[in-house]
Amino acid sequence: MTASRAALLLLSVVLVIAASRARAEPDGVRLILSKLPQQDSATYKAIRMRAGKAICQVLPLTKSEVWSVPPEKVEAVKSAARAQGVEVDVLDADWNHVFRPPPADLKLTAQQEAMMQHAHAEKATTAIGIVAAPAPALVEYALTKDAAAKLAAKDAPKIVVTLSDKSPLTLTRTGVDIKPDMCIWRGAVDGTDMPVTIMWWPRGKMAGLIQHRGHIYAIRHIGGEVHAIIETSEALMPEDHPPGPPSPRKDGAR
């Protein structure tokens, strides 16, 4: 191989690697901004100007926005936003985990204890886990990311949930229906394609069903940010009462 051909081959390899890295790099640092002023206000425009050519997704239910900001402009955006009373949070690596461990000092109320005892008393119940939901704006983004975009199935957004046995489960979105006061997320469990339905309200309440390996995991809101993951065995459930998807209810209903 001549020196010129070797140089051309090396250049081709470098360009391929560079292109691959460019595709892999995120658009920027993602920030969630809450309590923003009106988009047509001078204050909003002043903050937006600090972000340069940031990519923005509006979160209509929590009235928040997610901006993908160039790294060198992050501090300027934070400073300008906070000076106007706007809350700014950086998305962490686990931004798509829709549950968190409950606070270490969590004490259930008498009503919550009664709800847990009632669930335990069901014959098909095999386990119950307690989890907490992250900030509403973060959950809305995890559930509705790129909802308006036409994505191929392989690019569908994913979320991660923690079940009652503390094991994380990855779910791929197949559709999301954003209504004026709630959203309904539909998807499938990675590896099994079993169906998942999750309903979410902007005050932080969630409900839903996940089917996985002979068990059904019901997401039940029990107050505040606290949710119970109730695991039941399909083998123990009465044959004449098959599980069905939860019916949408008004926010605040039990």
Better-scored residue on pLDDT, 245 or 157? 157
- Tens digits of residue pLDDT in 178-216: 999 999 999 999 999 999 999 999 998 999 999 998 899
d(CA 4, CA 13): 14
- The model's pTM: 0.80
Q: What's the pLDDT score for residue 6?
A: 43
End-to-end, the C-alpha distance of the chain in Å comes to: 75
- In angstroms and rounded to an integer, the radius of gyration of the C-alpha atoms of the chain is 22
Strands 168-178 and 183-189: antiparallel
d(CA 11, CA 208): 52
Mean pLDDT, range 24-51, rounded to an integer: 88
Percentage of the chain modeled with pLDDT above 90: 59
CATH 3.30.70 domain position(s) in the chain? 3-90
Output the average pLDDT for the chain.
84
Q: What's the pLDDT score for residue 65?
A: 97
Residue 100 per-residue DSSP state: B
CB-based contact 77:88 (threshold 8 Å): yes
> Which residue in the block uniquely carries the two structure tokens 């900001």?
69
Q: How confident is the model at residue 17 (pLDDT cuts 50, 70, 90)?
A: very low
d(CA 61, CA 136): 9
d(CA 167, CA 190): 14
Q: What is the fold, at CATH topology level, of the domain defined by 3-90? A: Alpha-Beta Plaits (3.30.70)
The β-bridge partners of 217 are 210, 231
Reply yes or no on whether the pLDDT at 28 is more than 60: yes
d(CA 219, CA 216): 10
